[in-house]
Amino acid sequence: MLEKYMPEIIQSAVAAGILVVLRIVVNFLITRFSQRKNKVAKRANLIMKYLDFTLITSAIFIGILIWSIDMKDIGWIASSIFAVIGIGFFAQWSVLSNLTSGVIIFFTLPYKIGDRIKIHDKDFPIIAKIDDIKAFHMNLITDDGGLHTYPNSLILQKGVTLVQEGVHTQIVEANAEIPSDKPFSD
């Protein structure tokens, strides 16, 4: 009885082996990138979770192809699942943009946990230290100890400046006048 399914078993084992090797190699590359660019290991682990999800989805799809599961049956289930997910994403489109922004922030922007930044927002300017970068938002701690959560998508949309520790900047309200003798003193 087992001989009947031997080709599918071998193909499944080979596919699983390739996916495991791919995960190990990409894990090594992400960890090395994280260490070279002084990124936080917690963020690298988050990126690895995204990779694991992608690999598991790929493994399911490859398994369906190898075992020749009737696509008609899977089509009904998949279309129902995707309809629910699609409605959920349409209702919460910003969730997907924040998640994508979190990945972009990890790989491209120079901000890391512990950096002090200034967000140039017209309505709510803020100077704070990055406490944590999560999948959907950043936790920022202001100098007075206040905790602010800031969406990752807004970090990409707003101007952000790295501010050195000990350097004080002045946030000027739109209608306020800047003193002419010392424009940026405390």
Domain-embedded: residue 79: no
The answer for residues whose C-beta is within 8 angstroms of residue 46's C-beta and 6 or more apart is: 102, 106, 134, 135
Query: Which of 7-16, 32-41, 157-166, 167-176 is least confident?
Result: 167-176
The count of domains in the chain is 2
Examine the fold and report which residue of 38, 69, 100 is the final residue of a domain before the chain moves on.
69
- Pair 51, 113 in one domain: no
Domain-embedded: residue 78: no
Give the CATH number for residue 135.
Answer: 2.30.30.60
Distances in Å between the Cα of 59 and the Cα atoms of 49, 79, 174 are 15, 19, 55
**For a pLDDT cut of 70, what percent of the chain falls above it?**
83
Q: pLDDT band at residue 117, thresholds of 50, 70 and 90?
A: very high
CA angle 81, 85, 86 (to 5 degrees): 115
- Pair 104, 137 in one domain: yes
- Pair 102, 168 in one domain: yes
What confidence tens digit (pLDDT) does each residue in 1-19 have?
788 999 999 999 999 999 9
**For a pLDDT cut of 90, what percent of the chain falls above it?**
31
Domain-embedded: residue 134: yes
What is the pTM (predicted TM-score) of this model? 0.52
Place of tokens 């979190």: 102
- Pair 43, 113 in one domain: no
- Pair 109, 165 in one domain: yes
Distances in Å between the Cα of 181 and the Cα atoms of 165, 175, 178, 184, 185 are 24, 18, 9, 9, 9
What confidence tens digit (pLDDT) does each residue in 68-80 have?
887 777 777 778 8
Domain-embedded: residue 83: no
Domain residues for the domain of 43 are 2-69
- Pair 104, 185 in one domain: yes
Q: What pLDDT was estimated at residue 153?
A: 85
- Pair 34, 106 in one domain: no
- Pair 108, 169 in one domain: yes
Q: What pLDDT was estimated at residue 100?
A: 79
Domain-embedded: residue 87: no
Domain-embedded: residue 140: yes
Q: What pLDDT was estimated at residue 37?
A: 81
Domain-embedded: residue 81: no
Phi-psi sector, 8: left (phi>0), alpha (psi -120 to 50), beta: alpha
Alpha carbon dihedral 30, 33, 34, 39, in 10-degree steps, equals -140
